[in-house]
């Protein structure tokens, strides 16, 4: 029931119509009987949107492309992890003070930790973009050994200035993934509609490895299919997406999210 006491949360981005956040968060509010409502806003003028968050006292704002970096300059505080990642995907408004967080790393960590620990593991991280930075932050915190695979040498070297990287490898050396304990694809490779593409030929996988593909559209990518056929344990991209939303839910409401019901909703709304 929406009334004059309803607390508003939202996601901002441009475009925004593809966002699953309203369904997942609203489902959580409904299941827990919280007087909260979550909407999506297509935002062009970020500064005005921030003024709106303050003026309408919007409790929680999820942030997506293209505003994740620029928004940092309009906030009152940015937490340590988001600063290290260099991007904010979550803004919490506490009595008019706006604090930025980044829950992508936490989402990845919760998803991986369901099946393994990271300390001293050799992790092949494919990609050097925004999501790879979020994942490298938690890999570093958990004392994993990061092997960075990237196609652009300059970007890889810049990445290695911000994170403790054990090895930098070009994608031409992809056969080196065979020596890793965990392989994480943090590139868009394999995303719909290019669903038959993978950066890791199946013959390089072996069954003791854990394979995590952060691509969630399709739910089961070519890489995940190959890994399952090989006998590897796998982590689905939608689990990271789920747990980053679960972390936001807690930041916005102060209450633990109903995880399994939110997972079911997410699986239902992901069409591929």
Q: Which of 221, 247, 223 is nearest to 82 (CA)?
A: 247
- 227, with CB counted inside 10 A (0-12, 13-18, 19+), is buried
Closest contact distance (angstroms) between CB of 233 and ligand NAP is 17
Q: Residues 25, 9: contact at Cβ < 8 Å?
A: yes
84 in active site: no
Give 28 or 237: the residue with its C-beta nearer to ligand NAP: 237
Residue positions counted in the chain: 272
Closest contact distance (angstroms) between CB of 239 and ligand NAP is 8
What is the contact surface with ligand NAP in residues (CB under 6 A)? 104, 107, 127-132, 150-152, 155, 171, 186-189, 191, 199, 214-216, 237, 240-241, 244
Closest contact distance (angstroms) between CB of 180 and ligand NAP is 17
Give 92 or 200: the residue with its C-beta nearer to ligand NAP: 200
Alpha carbon of residue 185 to chain centroid: 12
Q: Which of 124, 106, 122 is nearest to 171 (CA)?
A: 124
**Strand 165-170 and strand 90-94: pairing?**
unpaired
Q: Which of 48, 68, 161, 203 is catalytic?
A: 68
Give 52 or 86: the residue with its C-beta nearer to ligand NAP: 86
Instruction: Provide the annotated active-site residues.
Output: 68
């Amino acid at each position: 029931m929406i009334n004059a006491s309803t607390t508003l949360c939202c996601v901002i981005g441009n475009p925004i119509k593809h966002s699953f956040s309203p369904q997942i968060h609203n489902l959580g509010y409904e299941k827990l009987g919280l007087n909260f409502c979550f909407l999506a806003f297509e935002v062009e003028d970020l500064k005005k949107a921030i003024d709106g968050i303050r003026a309408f006292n919007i409790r929680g704002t999820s942030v997506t492309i293209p505003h994740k970096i620029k928004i940092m300059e309009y906030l009152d505080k940015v937490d340590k992890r988001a600063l290290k990642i260099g991007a904010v995907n979550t803004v919490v408004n506490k009595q008019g003070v706006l604090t930025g967080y980044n829950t992508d790393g936490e989402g990845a960590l919760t998803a991986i930790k369901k099946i393994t620990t990271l300390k001293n593991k050799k992790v092949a991280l494919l990609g050097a973009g925004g999501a790879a930075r979020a994942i490298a932050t938690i890999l570093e915190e958990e004392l994993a050994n990061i092997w960075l695979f990237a196609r652009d040498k300059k970007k890889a070297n810049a990445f290695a200035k911000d994170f403790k990287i054990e090895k930098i490898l070009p994608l031409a050396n992809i056969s080196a993934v065979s020596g890793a304990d965990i392989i994480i694809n943090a590139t868009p490779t394999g995303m719909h509609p290019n669903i038959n593409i993978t950066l890791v030929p199946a013959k390089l996988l072996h069954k003791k490895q854990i394979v995590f593909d952060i691509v969630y559209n399709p739910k089961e990518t070519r890489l995940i299919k190959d890994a399952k056929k090989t006998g590897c344990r796998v982590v689905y991209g939608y689990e990271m997406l789920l747990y980053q939303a679960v972390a936001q839910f807690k930041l916005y409401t102060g209450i633990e999210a109903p995880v399994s019901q939110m997972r079911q909703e997410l699986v239902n709304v992901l069409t591929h």
